[in-house]
Amino acid sequence: MLVTNIGVMNYSNTPDAEILTWMRATEQQMAEDVAPIWHLPAPRFNLVRQGDNTAGIDSWIVVANDAHDITQRFGLGWHRLYFNQPIGYVLVEFTKSDGQTPSRVFSHEVLEMAVDPDMNRRTPPIDGIQYLVEAGDVLSFDAGGYLIDDVLVSGFGTPAYFHLESGSVFAFRRNGTTPPEVDGPLPAKAPQAMGTMLCWVQNGQLMTKLLAPTRAREQYREAPMHSRRYRRRLDRTRWDRID
């Protein structure tokens, strides 16, 4: 499965004009930064309104205000499979209340959805652990992002960080920003302010660990039902039957 044509639905109070700036910046990021490094096609974006023709759209991003709009929330955003289509969510007001930027969360969800649309990529065993390939989680806070046309997008980890190929660059930012300081492959981490998250399965349970003690509330948590990370620990035949 490849993510090539993303439909964006805006159910938030954010004006469509602002959402369009996120889409343009993320489309440029995917074409110039993410796709060449991760060997992917660069997806196109379409802002979808009620009654629009959705033929050809193979994945979705839903922009909503907060947890009242979407009952199953995991963090500031998440993505999952729904009827065999990848779909991501961005919670605008919840993101703002956490001191983060919605455009960066939008970019984060898009690039993770594109890197692993089938939700089945894992690292080779590292000290006996296979980590989930969550490219945006390597630089998961605003401090790890960068600007494209004054829009903040997410920094991300490279295949080399996840032990998927050789290389000396383990995380990516650009536009003259300071280096992300990820000095090796996983389980190396970025500075605490940039927020590296690790995800793995242990004894049948999905575990997450945020390598930033200043955010203790995020440090360990289980995946709620219906979330992308919950589904990743299930047999794939069950993914589309859980709603």
- Boundaries of every domain in the chain: 5-241
pLDDT-based confidence at residue 32 (cuts at 50, 70, 90): very high
How far is the C-alpha of 217 from the C-alpha of 205, rounded, in Å? 19
Averaged pLDDT score across all residues of the chain:
83
**Cβ–Cβ < 8 Å for 155, 29:** no
Concatenating the DSSP letter of every residue in 138-152 gives GG-SGGG-EEETTEE
Per-residue pLDDT band for 76 (boundaries 50, 70, 90) equals confident
pLDDT score for 49: 87
The string of pLDDT tens digits covering residues 141-193 is 999 999 999 999 999 999 999 999 999 999 999 876 667 789 899 989 999 88
Mean pLDDT, residues 3-13 taken together: 93
Q: Which residue has the higher pLDDT, 83 or 111?
A: 111
Q: How far apart are CA 61 and CA 26, in angstroms?
A: 12
Are the C-beta atoms of residues 3 and 38 closer than 8 Å to each other?
no
Check: pTM over 0.75? Answer yes or no: yes
pLDDT for 240:
38
**How confident is the model at residue 36, as a pLDDT?**
96
Would you say residue 243 has pLDDT above 50?
no
Dist. CA 43–CA 221, nearest whole Å? 32
Asked whether 47 and 20 are in contact (CB, 8 A), the reply is yes
DSSP helix/strand/coil, 202: strand
Phi/psi of residue 45, each to 5°?
-120, 145
- CA 147 – CA 155 distance, rounded (Å): 10
Per-residue pLDDT band at 69 (split at 50, 70, 90): very low
- The β-bridge partners of 228 are none
For the residues 100-129, what does the mean pLDDT come to? Answer: 93
Q: Tokens 């509330």: give the residue.
A: 217
pLDDT, residue 176, reads 66
Q: How many CB atoms lie within 10 A of CB 172?
A: 23
Q: Sorting pLDDT into bands at 50, 70 and 90, what band is 216?
A: very low
Average pLDDT of span 81-92: 86
